[in-house]
Amino acid sequence: MDKIAFIGAGAMTEAIVKGVIKAELLPASHIWMTNHANEERLQRMHATYGVTVTRNQADLLKKTDIIILSVKPKDAEQALLSLGEAQLGKEQVVVSLMAGITTAYLESFLPAGQSVIRVMPNTSATILEAATAIAAGTHATKQQLQLVQQLFWTVGSAIEVGEESMDAVTAISGSGPAYIYYLMEALEEASFQVGLDEKIGKQLLIQTFKGAAAMMEQSELSPAQLRANITSAGGTTAAGISVLEEQNVKAAVTACVQAAAARSKEMGQAYSK
């Protein structure tokens, strides 16, 4: 990999830039970017990270291995039409970070045989702890897929999935941090109500989530088994879990994920040709 180019310079672009530079995957000067109109943002990215910024699309795309579309779905058509006129090489791969936009939609705007890859990271990329799913388009090569996986390992973990799984991925890992924050929000409010100091409650809550995630990562046990291991009959945990069961929280979580997946699918259908 000699050069990557970003179209769009928002928070996700910045997260990836930080990851690539920290991992020493590429020199900062080999990371190029542009955006629609925010020149101040581009100059700030250049001053902060030393990346190359430009308004010249020919320079941006010349000898670029990976072209990353880091724009909002509503701007997809404009960005793709511009790329479609750029006479990209078959060795170049277009990578989309746009939620709900299928590889088929991407391919429909680009020259026949152009390689595309769809990627769904989450906001934890900003601290280099993202869970990223990658789906290859029809013409993407194994080598291109490996390059993109290598790139996104710099901001967390990256796993290949089929295109048909991307709506589910969006619902779980894409939106998942928000569900976790929602639960943390509820636990934080409850901690105040049972008498914990705000600072102490927050500290305990953060470490509890960190510890639980680490246990799940390091153990071969399922979440259900891990839960059972700390739920003694007649104990405090059992008392709390019984309320969650009575309130049908598990069903609510399932409905939450299903709604997010359905919305992702709807977004994809809105951007179909």
Q: Which of 177, 180, 226 lies closest to 205 in space, CA to CA?
A: 180
User: Angle 157-159-165 (CA atoms, 0-180°, nearest 5)?
Assistant: 130
- pTM across the whole model: 0.89
User: Looking at domain 176-268, which of 3.40.50.1820, 2.40.160.20, 1.10.3730.10, 3.20.20.120 is its CATH number?
Assistant: 1.10.3730.10
Tokens found for residue 43: 């100059």
Q: How far apart are CA 78 and CA 84, in angstroms?
A: 10
**Taking a C-beta distance cutoff of 8 angstroms, is the pair 110, 86 a contact?**
no
Kindly report each contact of residues 25-31 with a partner whose C-beta sits within 8 Å and lies 24 or more positions away, as own/partner: 25/1, 25/150, 25/151, 25/154, 26/1, 26/2, 30/2, 30/3, 30/4, 31/3, 31/4, 31/6
**Taking a C-beta distance cutoff of 8 angstroms, is the pair 109, 77 a contact?**
yes
Alpha carbon of residue 129 to chain centroid: 10
Measure Cα distances from 111 to 8, 86, 89, 127, 169 in Å.
22, 10, 10, 36, 28
User: One-letter amino acid identity for 182?
Assistant: Y
User: Angle 101-26-154 (CA atoms, 0-180°, nearest 5)?
Assistant: 55
Q: How far apart are CA 126 and CA 212, in angstroms?
A: 21
**Taking a C-beta distance cutoff of 8 angstroms, is the pair 125, 15 a contact?**
yes
pLDDT 10s per residue in the chain (273 long)? Answer: 899 999 999 999 999 999 999 999 999 999 999 998 899 999 999 999 999 999 998 899 999 999 999 998 888 888 898 888 888 988 999 999 998 889 999 999 999 999 999 999 999 999 999 999 999 999 999 999 999 999 999 999 999 999 999 999 999 999 999 999 999 999 999 999 999 999 999 999 999 999 999 999 999 999 999 999 999 999 999 999 999 999 999 999 999 999 999 998 888 887 766
Specify the CATH architecture of the domain 4-162. Answer: 3-Layer(aba) Sandwich (3.40)
Residues of the chain with CATH 1.10.3730.10: 176-268
Rg (C-alpha) for the chain, rounded Å, is 22
Residues of the chain with CATH 3.40.50.720: 4-162
Q: How far apart are CA 182 and CA 187, in angstroms?
A: 9
